[in-house]
Copies of this chain bind each other. A is one copy, B any other.
Amino acid sequence: MSITAPLGFAAAGVHAGIRREKKDLALVRTLGDGTGAAMWTRNRVLAAPVVVSQQHLACAEPQAVVVNSGVANAATGDQGVKDARATAEHAAALLGLAPEQVLVLSTGVIGAPLPVGLVTAGLDAAAYALSTDGGADAATAILTTDTRAKQAVSTGPGFTVGGMAKGSGMIHPNLATMLAVLATDYPLAAGEAIDFLRPAVELSFNSISVDGECSTNDAVVLLSSGAAPLERTPASDASFALALRAVCADLAHQIVADGEGATLLAEIAVSGAASGGEAKAIAQRIATSSLVKTALFGRDANWGRVLAAAGSAPWNGGYARLDPALVSLTYNGTAVLVAGAPQNAEPNVDGAVCSIELDLGLGDGSAGYLTSDLSYDYVRINADYRS
């Protein structure tokens, strides 16, 4: 069930001392000659490890990923870039790789310097501990306010995809304070991994929100060892695309379910929008509305708030198209609004999962979004924790 499930990967997770007690440094590497790709935050403020990793990825196929938690190495100026580079160089030396073959990811407090001495000593220990059973340790070492490790595996004919992720606050499209590392033994040519990664991410990590925040450090990395003994065909490519998407969707689901303070997971489904883009804008607006999310915390099927949010979804400098007289809305399958007419129904929303389906009756655009509720604990965690 871990990132080391596919053939040709080793991983480790150790306590380097960046955080007080918990594991805080993960190392994943391909055994042999692999390929890979990554997608990054679109925040204008890029953390140093993102800057350095983007440069490395432009030069070489990635063979290893270093992830530290505790310090984000963001807003740390030139020194931050030097520190990220030193991390990659130290890992490369330990693993017999070129520095450009190593990606570095960080998550934690913004503005604090990376304790490079702790990181390099930790890397020594991690390189020593590398193992084909090390996936679970690695998955633990990348966590911050997460309450549990997030791992997923999916298999196809002759191949396996494994993955790990972290992220519970600041989750939002464009990969906000969310890190995911995916591994597969499905053989991919150099430069090819991104074509599989991009659509999988769009339908998973870019369709979830815990609090509408987009961080400086977010990244999704895919590594392929190519170790699966199979002949590629169009059919096997399609199977791989599905398996990769399944792992991404599973990890995204785990992230939202572990949202900071979350007591409920809501699945927002928008259909009948004038366009696909407008469907996604509306789904996202509902999923990030504080009023919708506090109502869900109160287990109140407060559909007026859903409608008000849907009517104010930013789109093309205005709002996405919506005609209130055509809108239908259900909570957990119970209609509260049919073609604009209130139904006087009282849907049951007492559970830990809530399905909200909005049909705009305008066109063919549809989109889904996962979100969590907004609870006292979200406020407590984020008022207390300096992240």
A residues lining the B interface (CB < 8 Å): 42-46, 72, 74-77, 109-111, 169-170, 174, 176, 211-216, 288-291, 294-295, 297-298, 300, 302-305, 307-312, 314, 318-325, 337, 340-342, 374-376, 378-380, 382-384, 386-387
Contact of A304 among B72, B302, B312 (CB under 8 A): B72
A324 — which chain B residues lie within 8 A by C-beta?
44-46, 75
Q: How far is the CA of A43 from the CA of B284 in the complex (A)?
A: 16
Q: Is the CB of A75 within 8 A of B337?
A: yes
A336 nearest CB neighbor, chain B only: B111
The complex places the Cα of A289 from the Cα of B170 at a distance, in Å, of 10
B308 touches A216 (CB 8 A): yes
Instruction: Determine if B111 and A290 form an interchain contact, defined as CB atoms under 8 angstroms apart.
Output: no
Q: Which residues of B contact A76 (CB under 8 A)?
A: 342
Distance in angstroms from A308 CB to nearest chain B CB is: 5
Nearest-neighbour CB distance to chain B for A381, whole angstroms, equals 8
Which listed residue (B111, B297, B310, B314) contacts A303, Cβ 8 A?
A: B111
Q: Give the shortest distance, in Å, between A339 (CB) and chain B (any CB).
A: 9
Is the beta-carbon distance between A44 and B303 smaller than 8 angstroms? no
Neighbouring B residues of A374 by C-beta, 8 Å: 290, 379
Most interface-central of A42, A294, A318, A322 (chain B CB within 10 A): A294
Chain B: which residue is nearest A216 at the CB level? B308
A/B interface sample: 5 pairs, CB < 8 A: A45-B311, A74-B304, A75-B303, A75-B324, A77-B342
Contact A294 B111 (CB under 8 A): no
* Contact between chains at A375 and B382 (CB < 8 Å): no
> Are the CB atoms of A312 and B42 closer together than 8 Å?
yes
Given contacts A75-B342, A374-B379, A379-B375, contact A45 B307 (CB under 8 A): yes
- Report whether B75 and A312 are in contact in the complex, using a CB–CB cutoff of 8 Å: no
Cross-interface CB contact of A110 among B77, B305, B325, B341, cutoff 8 Å: B305
Candidate in A111, A297, A308, A309 with the most chain B CB atoms within 10 angstroms:
A308
Contact of A77 among B42, B44, B341, B387 (CB under 8 A): B341
A213: B residues at CB distance < 8 A? 289-291, 308-309, 312
* Cβ contact within 8 Å between A311 and B44: yes
What chain B residues lie within 8 Å of A309 (beta carbons)? 213
Contact status of A44 and B110, CB under 8 A, knowing A214-B308, A290-B211: no
A76, A300, A383, most chain B CB atoms within 10 A: A383
**Do B378 and A307 have beta carbons less than 8 Å apart?**
no
Given A77-B325, A294-B379, 12 more A-B residue pairs with CB atoms under 8 Å apart are: A42-B312, A42-B319, A43-B311, A44-B320, A45-B308, A77-B340, A110-B304, A110-B305, A214-B311, A291-B382, A304-B387, A305-B387
A294 close to B382 (CB less than 8 A): yes
> How many Å lie between the Cα of A169 and that of B43 in the bound state?
28
Q: Which residue of chain B has its CB nearest to the CB of A41?
A: B312
Choose one: B45, B379, B383; the contact of A310 (CB below 8 Å): B45
| Residue of B with least CB distance to A360 | B44
A290 touches B75 (CB 8 A): no
Q: How far is the CB of A171 from chain B (nearest CB, A)?
A: 11
Minimal Cβ-Cβ distance residue in B for A176: B312
Of B176, B297, B302, B384, which one neighbours A379 at CB under 8 angstroms? Answer: B297
Chain B positions within 8 Å of A383 at CB level: 294-295, 297-298, 300
